[in-house]
Amino acid sequence: MLKLSKVYDISAKLTNERPKIKLGEGKVYEVDNRKNTILLMQQKLEKADIDDLNFLDEAIEMLLGEKAAKEIDEMDLSIANYQTIFITIMAAIQEIEYEQAEAMFRKATDL
């Protein structure tokens, strides 16, 4: 008897929808969580100087887009707020809750 191979249909699980973050009224930004963007981000992160705050601007521009990066820069936020934004972006990329991403960030920085 010929046995047919099983077909796993995951088409309903795949989507091109991007997560979004909201920073205020009318300030909702789509997060670019595509594979190639994240790989490029990881490469930049490996080469980045952790003390170079320009990296935050580059990361935000890469993941949220030029317009969003400019609007965020114009908000003149504290470094703590930038950190919150970056953690939120990382949570959106991984599709996890903010608190999980924050815990991972805290653990990584408590070396």
pLDDT per residue over 72-94, tens digit each?
999 999 989 998 999 999 999 99
In a domain, 55, yes or no: yes
In a domain, 99, yes or no: yes
In a domain, 5, yes or no: no
Structural domain of 94? 16-109
Beta strand spans in 1-111 (E) = 20-24, 27-30
Are 62 and 40 within 8 A, CB to CB? yes
- Tally of structural domains, the chain: 1
User: What does pLDDT average to over the chain?
Assistant: 90
In a domain, 37, yes or no: yes
pTM for the whole thing?
0.81
In a domain, 8, yes or no: no
Q: Average pLDDT for residues 26-33, to the nearest whole number?
A: 96
